[in-house]
Amino acid sequence: MTCPCGHYDYVDSTAETLTDALAYHREHGNRIIHEKLTGSPLFRGSIMDPNGKQNEIANRMRLYQHSARCPVALRSFLDCNPIYWCFIPVLWSEALAENSVHTRGTSDTDLLLLQVLTSTAVGNRRLANYLDCVPLSPAAYVFSNQQVKQQRSFFQQFISCTNDQLPYLTLDLYKVAIIAVLPDIRSIILRYIIETLFIIHAETKLNMICPIGIDAEKRYGRVYDLVWCANLKQPPISTTKSIQ
């Protein structure tokens, strides 16, 4: 599997079909992008998340950590789901300019309405909690007032969705190629040995194991840039849609 940025690879193996493996990566890859951008878990159940353990394991994987912060992978996600642009912080100067444009065109009535909306959000603890969890922006970046307003309406719709409704369209983030197929009668150990040989040979940066037995992060470094939003800029003509 290769990230669309072309700089990161991952080797995987499965005893199931390729379709099953792709569905697994699609599910977790898209979920983790949602969770990293919004700061809140996708599952909105009351007590126990049935997939909690599996999600916890996936959350730690370098594969998904990378795609959730890779500008190229994120751009693909945002093209399909423009409603998430409000979670991509912008430079201070851009936010100030955008704020002044919106304030200039805002009447006293609009400002009053905005104040009512804000106080409603504060009154609604659940909505306020979601807004509080939105991750802090990297230094020199911030959310514009307009983005915060859009985040509020995003979470309003998110709360009204049922748990089986995804707030995004899912997409396959990685390019995939099959490099080996084993016969039906084979041991799990053999499959793992072959997978490991491919990982060692290709020195894939996103696998959790690495050739010389040290921590993958020590060997290949962090899987994303801390200023992850630097190369992400919303196109001028917004095609922002609401949650379906």
User: Where do contacts with Zn ion occur on this chain (CB under 5 A)?
Assistant: 3, 5, 8, 70
For Zn ion, the closer CB: 88 or 95? 88
* Residue (83 or 206) nearer to Zn ion, CB: 206
CB of 229 to Zn ion, least distance (A): 14
Q: How far is the CB of 236 from Zn ion (least distance, A)?
A: 25
Smallest distance from Zn ion to CB 175, Å: 11
Residue with smaller CB distance to Zn ion, 231 or 244: 231
The minimum distance between CB 241 and Zn ion, in angstroms, equals 25
Which tokens belong to 242? Answer: 């609401």
Using a 10 angstrom Cβ sphere, with 0-12 exposed, 13-18 middle and 19 or more buried, the burial of residue 34 is buried
Q: How far is the CB of 8 from Zn ion (least distance, A)?
A: 5
Toward Zn ion, which CB reaches closer, 127 or 199?
Answer: 199
To Zn ion, the closest distance from the beta carbon of 110 in angstroms equals 40
Cα 40 to Cα 29, 78, 122, 126, 224: the distances in Å are: 15, 18, 18, 12, 20
Cβ pair 207, 46 in contact under 8 A: no
The region that residue 7 occupies, defined by phi over 0 for left and psi between -120 and 50 for alpha, beta otherwise, is alpha
Nearer to Zn ion, 9 or 35 (CB): 9
User: Rounded to an integer, what distance in angstroms lies between the CA atom of residue 6 and that of residue 102?
Assistant: 38
**Cα distances (Å, whole numbers) of residue 13 to 57, 58, 146:** 17, 15, 44
| Amino acid letter for position 219 | R
Residue 125: Cβ-neighbour burial (10 angstroms; 0-12, 13-18, 19+): exposed
CA distance 161 to 22: 26
Q: Which is nearer to Zn ion, 84 or 174 (CB)?
A: 174
**Distance, CA of 4 to CA of 1 (rounded, Å):** 9
Nearer to Zn ion, 74 or 199 (CB): 74
Least distance in angstroms from the C-beta of 170 to Zn ion: 18
Distance, in Å, from the CA atom of 155 to the CA atom of 32, rounded to the nearest integer, reads: 17
